[in-house]
């Protein structure tokens, strides 16, 4: 398993536990390793939205769609 995948798994686990701020940190670390993955931007957007940081989350969702316009997972 790669480093990015491990970060995403940890982040998703924290999201499931309601620890959105901690999850956000893992998604941001993953994005430092690959800024061209629409799923990473989407994950970050979901975490930000869960924290009530709507403007920032919209930026992430738009970035996800910019990279992959037909991203079926974009929130």
Query: What are the tens digits of pLDDT across the range 17-66?
Result: 999 999 999 999 999 999 999 999 999 999 999 999 999 999 999 999 99
Q: Confidence class of residue 69 from pLDDT cuts 50, 70 and 90? A: confident
User: Which residues in 33-64 are b (16+ Cβ under 10 Å) and which e?
Assistant: eeeebbbbbbbbbbbbbbeebeebbeebbebb
- pTM of this prediction? 0.90
CA 47 to CA 29: how far, in whole Å? Answer: 13
**What pLDDT is recorded for position 1?**
78
Per-residue confidence band for 74, with pLDDT thresholds at 50, 70 and 90: low
In words, the CATH class of domain 3-67 is: mainly alpha
Give residue limits of the domains in the chain: 3-67
- pLDDT confidence of residue 73: 63
pLDDT tier, 75 (very low <50, low <70, confident <90, very high otherwise): low
């Amino acid at each position: 398993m790669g480093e990015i995948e491990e970060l995403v798994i940890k982040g998703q686990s924290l999201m499931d536990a309601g620890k959105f701020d901690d999850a956000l940190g893992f998604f941001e670390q993953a994005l430092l390793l690959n800024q061209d993955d629409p799923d990473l931007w989407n994950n970050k957007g979901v975490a930000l939205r869960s924290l009530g940081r709507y403007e920032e989350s919209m930026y992430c969702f738009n970035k996800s769609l910019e990279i992959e316009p037909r991203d079926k997972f974009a929130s």
